[in-house]
Structure 1
């Protein structure tokens, strides 16, 4: 609510010159408000007006709280991102180091994790999902665990599950245990993203039938593997949830390029009931699930 000053009533010259009636006592001085910005005068407020103002004020406060909560959902990820350098992020008492395309130059250890995602890459993810409730997340391809831990800190999901072909990472498992994240951060090793039976078993146990809000495929970047993962996992994504394929321009000369899969998936966007939004940039392709219920068999036909 905005405060306003006193409304002064204009008087005529005759009223100003006319002396007061002898039998009428002089009017008492108008009380001034004790509170408010310096130099502002306020007229007295009647009990009825005061009651109305209090009710309006209470409504404004409630609305402000609701709006603040909605706003906070959208900016929480942006607030507190302390980039010490363009390649060094310190967040949630953890260091994240972007090592570009030179894996092995720096190793994750203790409270330091390496990332293959740049500052701009992370910002694109923030722009994609800010203001949305992200409860259940799956990441295929955890590298050294950096993005898994970062997204857990940023989004505060109910559950985030990492799946990777590599052997157990001692530093990652130790960090999860030390920070008390066992209940909401889980990593499954020695698992190929294209092993549909094993992946399905993991998702069934971890999420108990709950739909997924965000799936990130940052694993092999091979056409066949990525297609099998999409066919198997996309039906588990909720309406309005996101499925992201990272580094879609990668071409490892092992069969068809990953871009071919992206083209097939984008073609599905012609049916907005299946995909109601598609976001494409140099780092990833993100598709948002529509209202239609699609099965693995249906997707296999569409992506043949």
Structure 2
């Protein structure tokens, strides 16, 4: 691994500075002189320590300015990384990919919504063929509907023992953070999905081998297949939340608190 973190906000890879930012997303741009990342150092350390071997295929859902794909390519030197994002790709990102020698290992697709089943499946088939994915990182819309639909598309392609990560799942409960109204797509915060996955761990024995939740990310290890979280655009497992007392089931602002704090308390949405 070549990346060197000189501080919590600055990493250097192949002579190029990678700068971590957690605000002013609309004005942040990767240029020929620097690469922008929205994941803190702690996130990359957690990915480096994942008990995955080997890691040959990674899907990154939500690319933003491309910094994380480059750093992941350094962390997992044998992996091919496919990234999708609804935003147009920045030419500077592609320049860094080629200049750092990752052109054959990082493939980015822009104008792709994470819940577009036809597009996502076509990309996965083109890049990975019939081979299963080892690691999925969802850092895209952070909205319940988009994220659950993406999960239903991609989870069947994840190998048994592979990891599926959902970043910034708890934005509705971060102290001091007020999410924009559109984040409550389907009137559900993303935290609802994590509760549903926890219940699925019990009701579908062995399908989810492990579910680990921290302040900044939820990570599950696949043990087998799951029924869809949604069918025909409707929620499936969330009905079981209605049988839980409101004091336990409510996941709106201020009701649920994560145990472990994280350096990042921000959230992004691909425009």
Please classify the TM superposition score into its range, dividing by the shorter chain length.
0.7 to 0.9
Alpha-carbon distance in 2 for matches of 1:297, 1:250: 21
Q: How does 1:43-192 map to 2 (within 5 A)?
A: 81-104=3-26, 106-110=28-32, 112-127=34-49, 129-130=50-51, 132-192=53-113
TM-score, scaled relative to structure 2: 0.76
Q: Deviations over 1:19-46 (max 9, x none)?
A: xxxxxxxxxxxxxxxxxxxxxxxxxxxx
Alpha-carbon distance in 1 for matches of 2:193, 2:230: 15
Question: Taking structure 1 as reference, are residues 82 and 222 closer, same or farther at Cα in structure 2, changes over 3 Å only?
Answer: same
Q: Deviations over 1:197-246 (max 9, x none)?
A: 11111101110010000001100111100000001100110010000000
Q: Are 1:235 and 2:137 matched, yes or no?
A: no
The CA deviation at 1:182 is 2.4
Segments of structure 2 that go 5 or more residues without pairing to the other structure are 173-179, 240-271
Alpha-carbon distance in 2 for matches of 1:159, 1:82: 22
- Structure 1 residue matching 2:48: 3-state secondary structure: helix
TM-score, scaled relative to structure 1: 0.68
Question: Taking structure 1 as reference, are residues 147 and 113 closer, same or farther at Cα in structure 2, changes over 3 Å only?
Answer: same
Contact 1:111–1:175 under 8 Å retained in 2: no
Alpha-carbon distance in 2 for matches of 1:229, 1:141: 11
The CA deviation at 1:298 is 8.7
Alpha-carbon distance in 1 for matches of 2:90, 2:27: 17
Alpha-carbon distance in 1 for matches of 2:38, 2:136: 17
Match of 1:280 in 2: 213
Contact 1:235–1:296 under 8 Å retained in 2: no
Identify the match of residue 226 of structure 1 among 144, 147, 168. 147
RMSD: 2.2
Contact 1:140–1:219 under 8 Å retained in 2: yes
Match of 2:200 in 1: 268
- Structure 1 residue matching 2:221: 3-state secondary structure: strand
Number of residue equivalences: 224
Higher Rg of the two aligned structures: 1
Match of 2:170 in 1: 249
- Structure 1 residue matching 2:137: 3-state secondary structure: strand
Alpha-carbon distance in 1 for matches of 2:52, 2:164: 17
Alpha-carbon distance in 2 for matches of 1:210, 1:111: 36
Q: Deviations over 1:120-171 (max 9, x none)?
A: 22222223x1563211000011010010111011111331000000112100
Contact 1:269–1:275 under 8 Å retained in 2: yes
Q: Deviations over 1:59-93 (max 9, x none)?
A: xxxxxxxxxxxxxxxxx5xxx54222221011343
Kindly indicate which of the two structures has a greater share of residues assigned to strand.
2
Match of 2:177 in 1: none
- Structure 1 residue matching 2:212: 3-state secondary structure: strand
Alpha-carbon distance in 1 for matches of 2:9, 2:105: 27
Segments of structure 1 that go 5 or more residues without pairing to the other structure are 1-75
- Structure 1 residue matching 2:166: 3-state secondary structure: strand
